[in-house]
Amino acid sequence: MKLTAPVTGGPCWAELGTSDLEGAKRFYTRLFGWIPATDTREQAGGYTVARLGDAPVAALTPLFQPSQPVAWNVSFSVTDADASVRAVRHAGGSVLLGPMEVFDLGRFAVAADPGGAVFQLWEPGAFPGAGVFNAPGALGWVELLTRAPEQAVSFYTTVFGWSVDPAQRYPQWGIDGADFGGMTTMDDKFPHEVPSHWLPYFVTEDVDAAAATATQAQGTALMEPTSIPDGPRIAVLRDPQGAMFGVYAAAYER
Whether 130 is covered by a domain: the verdict is no
Same-domain pairing of 188 and 110:
no
27 occurs within a structural domain: yes
- For 1-48, the pLDDT digits (tens) are 888 999 999 999 999 999 999 999 999 999 999 999 998 888 878 899
Q: What was the pLDDT predicted at 252?
A: 59
Report the CATH number that the domain containing residue 238 is assigned in CATH. 3.10.180.10
Residue 131 lies inside a defined structural domain of this protein:
no
What confidence category does residue 229 fall into, taking pLDDT thresholds of 50, 70 and 90?
confident
Give the residue-averaged pLDDT of 176-192. 92
CB 113 within 8 A of CB 93: yes
Largest CA distance in the chain: 49
Tell whether 95 and 37 lie within a shared domain. Answer: yes
In a domain, 151, yes or no: yes
Domain end point (choices 97, 124, 151): 124
Question: Domain residues for 41?
Answer: 11-124
| Residue type, position 236, single letter | V
User: Does any domain span residue 44?
Assistant: yes
pLDDT for 66 equals 82
Residue 172 pLDDT more than 60? yes
Q: Alpha-carbon distance 234 to 101, whole Å?
A: 36
Residue 55 lies in a domain: yes
Same domain, residue pair 118 and 181? no
pTM higher than 0.85: yes
Verify that 118 and 162 share a domain, yes or no: no
pLDDT band at 91 (very low <50, low <70, confident <90, very high): very high
Q: Which amino acid is it at 208? A: D
* 159, 56: one domain: no
Average of per-residue pLDDT values in the chain: 94
Same-domain status, 107 and 175: no
Q: Do 61 and 106 sit in the same domain of this protein? A: yes
Do 84 and 39 reside in the same domain of the chain?
yes
Is residue 134 in a domain? no
* First-to-last C-alpha distance (Å) of the chain: 6
Rounded to 10°, the helix 207-216/21-32 angle is: 150
* Predicted pLDDT at 2: 87
| Partners of 217 in beta bridges | none
The answer to whether residues 27 and 56 belong to one domain is yes
Which residues, in sequence order, are CB contacts of 204 under 8 Å at separation 6+? Answer: 32, 136, 137, 210, 247, 248, 249, 250
Q: Are residues 144 and 213 in the same domain?
A: yes
Q: What is the mean pLDDT of residues 210-233?
A: 94
- Is 92 inside any structural domain? yes
Last residue of a domain, one of 68, 99, 124: 124
> Residue 161: phi, psi to the nearest 5?
75, 25
Q: Indicate the number of domains in the chain.
A: 2
Query: Which among 164, 186, 189, 185 is positioned nearest to 174, based on CA atoms?
Result: 164
- DSSP string covering the chain: ----S--TTSEEEEEEEES-HHHHHHHHHHHH--EEEE---GGGTT-EEEEETTEEEEEEEE--STT--SEEEEEEE-S-HHHHHHHHHHTT-EEEEEEEEETTTEEEEEEE-TT--EEEEEEESS--S-S--SSTTSEEEEEEEES-HHHHHHHHHHHH--B--TTSSS-EEEETTEEEEEEEE--TTS-TTPPPEEEEEEEES-HHHHHHHHHHTT-EEEEEEEEPTTS-EEEEEE-TTS-EEEEEETT---
Domain boundary among 124, 159, 191: 124
Amino acid symbol at 155: F
Same domain for 114 and 144, yes or no, is no
- Looking at the structure, do residues 87 and 174 belong to the same domain, yes or no? no
Quick: pLDDT tens for 104-122: 999 999 999 999 999 999 9
